[in-house]
Amino acid sequence: MTKEYILNFLTTHKKEMQDTYALTKIGLFGSYAKDTANENSDIDIVVDMPSDFDAFFDLKDFLEKELRKNIDLGLEKSMRPFIKNAIKNDILYA
């Protein structure tokens, strides 16, 4: 799987995810965004959406099912400032 494949998937399904999970932003970061992923890498995704526990985990399940990889899903507004600062230049938004 490549960064381009993941971003294409996120872009193609963004409207559906906005309607279903009320997300406003979704982006890729981490090893896939940096082209350093290997077969054991998970996919790091950050989202901006309401703090709805069920919707958050439903979105995570949807992404894992569709992309067939473990997803490390982060809620942007809940990230600690040092984490946000560490990844802000690496996030590729769909």
pLDDT in tens, 29-77: 999 999 999 999 999 999 999 878 899 999 999 999 999 999 999 998 8
- The CATH superfamily holding the domain 3-93 is Beta Polymerase, domain 2 (3.30.460.10)
Predicted local distance difference test score (pLDDT) of residue 88: 82
Residue from 19, 44, 54, 61 carrying the catalytic annotation: 44
pTM for the model? 0.90
Residue from 42, 48, 72, 90 carrying the catalytic annotation: 42
Sketch the domain layout of the chain as residue ranges: 3-93
pLDDT band at 84 (very low <50, low <70, confident <90, very high): confident
- The residues, ordered by sequence, that sit 6+ positions from 30 with a Cβ below 8 Å of its Cβ are 37, 41, 42, 43, 44, 72, 87, 90
Predicted local distance difference test score (pLDDT) of residue 52: 83
**Is 42 in the active site?**
yes
**Is 44 in the active site?**
yes
Q: Which long-range contacts (CB under 8 A, 24 or more apart) does 22-25 make?
A: 22/49, 22/50, 22/52, 22/55, 23/47, 23/48, 23/49, 23/59, 24/48, 24/49, 25/76, 25/93
